[in-house]
Structure 1
Amino acid sequence: MQFERAQPIEEFVKTVQKRNYEYEFQYLRQNTETAQHEKYLVKDVQVQKLNRYSNILPFSHSIVKPEVQSPNKLIMSKDKFYINANYIRGINNVEKQYIATQGPIPESIIDFWHMVWTNNVQVVIMLCNFFDKGRVQCEKYWPKTGQKAQFGPYEVQSISQEEILKSIFQHKIIIKTQVEYREIIHYQWTNWNDFGVVGNDELRILDMLADISNKAGMQNKRPVIHCSAGVGRTGTFLAICHIKQLLINNKAKISIFSIVRRLREQRALMIQTPEQYQMLYRYTLWLIQNLKYI
């Protein structure tokens, strides 16, 4: 269909107000929530307790697994490891450039840090608060500033916390094994509600976080992105990362529909509402104007 075609920037800007976002999003759902997609969801009852939501499951073909064994004795082997997370390709089909995952639950915190360690993660971007509308969104998986906590074989130490912008907190975290340690920079944005969108005045925050995420991904430091379920806000943010990467070139052609469709082929249900889908168009226009392409 016409909205799948990638458009030059000038054409994109001229036609954006004519789009039927509700129709496009429903068409996306029809093509990415099929019986064939359902076959690839991991539905192992033995690991169901490690999913935050019973209906938000990872695809088996892109599910995250440790790429190397931990240097110290770890109970979990590769074949037993499970986490509700998927690898996401970069804009040029660079494999495993990002990780999209759910907010950890108490039972999955060890798995989370094992994923961070074995995937050389150095940036974590958290797009939710701990509670939203009276519901738990995410378990706090790192200790208070100045304290340490042991999660399986990993000692996690919180070094510092700084509010770098309103509602954005940057944490410096050290993760250690018996023989090695690494520094993780963790960003938490607390001002994006579940199933919600952000206003134009906050698009610069997403743009800044997308810069951080893209830089880490291109340096093979594989960022972890999560909200609560790891599909709505996480998917919207990853689409923004892709748009940002694409529009570095002012001769780029762009199709928001195709970007979202590819994301939904890698992790089910990415971008959950027509409003989140429309927000991607708002961000793209904002970015085009800020880059002075028009």
Structure 2
Amino acid sequence: MSNNWINPLIGICNTSVLVASGYVIWTCAAKKDKNTSIRSAESPKRPPPKKSIIPTGPSPVKEKNSSSSDEKNTDSAKEKNKKSKENEEGKKEKEKKKSKILGVKEQTDTGSKSKEEDKKEKKKESSKSRKSRKSLKKLLEKSKKSKTVEKKKEKSESDENPEDNEKPPEPGSDPRKIWAFKAAKMKCQAICKLHQDKIKGYMPPNCTYTAYDANPDLSRYTDVRCIEETRVILKNHERDFIHASWMRMPGKDDMSYITTQGPLPETLVDFWHMIYQEKISYVLMLCTLFEGGVEKCTLYYPEKLAEVVRFGRYEITLTECKEEAIANTTWNALTVVDTADPSSEPLYMNHVQVPWWPDQLAPEDARPMIELYKWVKSVNPKGIPICVHCSAGVGRTATFVGIDYATRRIMENPNIEMVDIVREMRAMRFQAVQSHMQFLFLYVALMQYFIDEGVVEMTGRIEAFMTQYKKHAQRKLAKRAVQNQQGEKAAADEKEKEKEKA
């Protein structure tokens, strides 16, 4: 065999080794390409690392060829991967741009909408806040006003009813002092309400009105009745009824008053028959003939000195105009003669008129009335009744009489309530102490009487009560003065119209 002969088995082995090594290299390259593509997809920015291919066979030429082919294959795969990556990146960039553009549009749209909505919400919130602020301000102002009003009320109440730490009268003290201390704790409004609730509509039980019902034309007011059990009965006269009642005082001296209405034209003879029959020494007239253009009483007495007026069988003469009994009053001496009985003696009596006590109300100062009360009590003969009248004979009249009646009852029981006192008086004279102002004035008049007598001091709560009443009365009297002026003007206009018609 020649030296150039080559064993065919060796060649086959070599070729098989080469083929196997190429297959291995190709599979490895493919795996690497797959890995690099996956890595490039996950992280495109990072390039795959280059790895050197190690030849496995003994023939260097075939190794070079195989490596070049592998490099070509890898390069083509890389280029494809790059192109696909570039395409994907381009698509992504386009999508990003579109999304950015759309996002900007949406943001602008939503931003504009949100801005408008924010503005509207801010306006609503601002309007709400303004309204809430205004409401808060109003509430604060109301609270401030209420606080100031409350403070003023507290101040006025403290002024009217000061907390002066006055000690109540000791047990066994004068009953008038005990009563005054207790009564001064009440306020004017509370006393007026007491009259409204417990006295105004009160009618004494078991009373009859037989003669009153039988003579409706002889009553000035249809709602003011005359109680049968206490009425003054006229004797030796054409009729026995007159709208007048006896009011007898508690005690042993049998002191009594005749309380009557202001005479009507139909009752002038009846009135003077009663005066002459009961031998009256003093008649107190607590009203004027006209008030606010309305007649309150018919003229039943002579007005000029030596003037003579005649009513039925009686002649009345004004014999003397005396000095004022108290300030702003008229005091005249009258003589009454019964012309039907020549043998009868004339009656010498006194007529005192008080023109400053308005109907349904009361004076702002009780001192003049207490002076008049004490004066009449001192000059009137004992055992002879005092005749008192106003317009209806129940309001001002019974309030004046109430000074005497209540004083006597307080001396008996200092804890007696004024409601009970007035109800006792109403059992004698229908609707006695008619209005709440008269009821309040009765408290004030009694306190003033007890002060004048030196039993009660004008200090502390009593002084506060008196000043409180004075303010209350001044307001009422001011309103009444305006009403009277209007009534007088209306009455004057009616008279002028009647003259024009005549």
Superposed displacement of residue 46, structure 1: 4.7
1:89 to 243, 248, 253: 248
**Distance in 2, Cα, partners of 1:222 & 1:167:** 24
Is the contact made by 2:226 and 2:243 (CA closer than 8 Å) also made in structure 1? yes
Partner of 1:15: 182
Structure 1: gaps (5+ residues): 1-6, 70-75
Partner of 1:27: 198
Opposite residue 249 of structure 2, the aligned amino acid is G
1:154 to 294, 314, 317: 314
Counterparts of 1:239-250 in structure 2 under 5 Å? Answer: 239-243=402-406
SS in 1 for 2:184: helix
After superposition, what is the alpha-carbon deviation per residue over 1:235-255, rounded to whole angstroms, capped at 9, x for unaligned? 1111013345567x7x97364
Out of 267-276 and 156-165, give the one that drifted further.
156-165
More helix by share: 2
2:328 matches 1:167: yes
CA RMSD of aligned residues (A): 2.5
Is the contact made by 2:308 and 2:315 (CA closer than 8 Å) also made in structure 1? yes
SS in 1 for 2:275: helix
Partner of 2:453: 291
Is the contact made by 1:122 and 1:216 (CA closer than 8 Å) also made in structure 2? no
SS in 1 for 2:309: strand
Opposite residue 362 of structure 2, the aligned amino acid is V
**Distance in 1, Cα, partners of 2:212 & 2:393:** 19
After superposition, what is the alpha-carbon deviation per residue over 1:45-99, rounded to whole angstroms, capped at 9, x for unaligned? 5521111111112100000013x54xxxxxx25xx22110000111327657110
Q: Output the TM-score relative to the length of structure 2.
A: 0.50
Higher RCO (CA-CA < 8 Å; seq separation 6+): 1
1:266 to 423, 428, 432: 428
Superposed displacement of residue 10, structure 1: 3.3
1:111 to 258, 265, 270: 270
2:399 to 220, 233, 236: 236
Is the contact made by 2:262 and 2:297 (CA closer than 8 Å) also made in structure 1? yes
2:443 matches 1:281: yes
Counterparts of 1:115-154 in structure 2 under 5 Å? Answer: 115-145=274-304, 146-154=306-314
Out of 175-184 and 94-103, give the one that drifted further.
94-103
Superposed displacement of residue 262, structure 1: 1.5
**Distance in 2, Cα, partners of 1:186 & 1:254:** 37
**Distance in 1, Cα, partners of 2:431 & 2:387:** 18
Superposed displacement of residue 192, structure 1: 0.5
Aligned length, in residue pairs: 272
Structure 2: gaps (5+ residues): 1-173, 457-502
Is the contact made by 2:409 and 2:421 (CA closer than 8 Å) also made in structure 1? no
Partner of 1:211: 374
The structure having more radius of gyration, on CA atoms, is 2
Superposed displacement of residue 22, structure 1: 2.9
**Distance in 2, Cα, partners of 1:254 & 1:8:** 8
